[in-house]
């Protein structure tokens, strides 16, 4: 009994899915992507500021395409209890993004401190 997991805080903290809670709460809608954003995109200009983050005009370094990239602070989303709202934004985009009057996006991911749409 003395060597069981109840008396060993390290073993009791281990899980089968070793994802930090700060990342896990945004899964599966926002997959984890560790590499720095500036590897893939060139930031051209700030388009808008919002309550949770900013929207930038960026250029994809691979194909030269121009995109709007929304960067949302994960800590701000958690502070405002808006995790479900962020996930719903992705769900809505997936549901209606095919419409000709709505900008299509199929790239949603998270970094250490930021959500990207």
Domain boundaries, the chain: 20-116
d(CA 79, CA 36): 24
CATH of 20-116, one of 3.30.200.20, 3.20.190.10, 3.30.70.1880, 3.40.50.300: 3.30.200.20
Residue 5: how many CA atoms within 13 Å on its side-chain side?
Answer: 5
Instruction: State residue 103's pLDDT score.
Output: 80
Residues 17-75: tens digit of each pLDDT: 678 888 999 999 999 998 889 999 999 999 999 888 999 999 999 999 999 999 999 99
Model pTM score: 0.79
User: Confidence class of residue 105 from pLDDT cuts 50, 70 and 90?
Assistant: confident
């Amino acid at each position: 009994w003395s060597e069981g997991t109840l008396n060993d805080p390290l073993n009791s903290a281990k899980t089968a899915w070793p994802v930090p809670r700060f990342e896990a709460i945004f899964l599966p809608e926002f997959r984890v992507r560790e590499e720095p954003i500036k590897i893939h995109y060139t930031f051209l200009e700030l388009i808008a500021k919002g309550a949770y983050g900013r929207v930038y005009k960026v250029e994809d370094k691979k194909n030269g395409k121009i995109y709007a990239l929304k960067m949302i602070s994960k800590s701000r989303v958690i502070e405002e209890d808006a995790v479900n709202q962020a996930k719903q934004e992705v769900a809505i985009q997936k549901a209606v993004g095919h419409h000709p009057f709505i900008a299509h996006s199929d790239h949603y991911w998270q970094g250490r401190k930021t959500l990207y749409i």
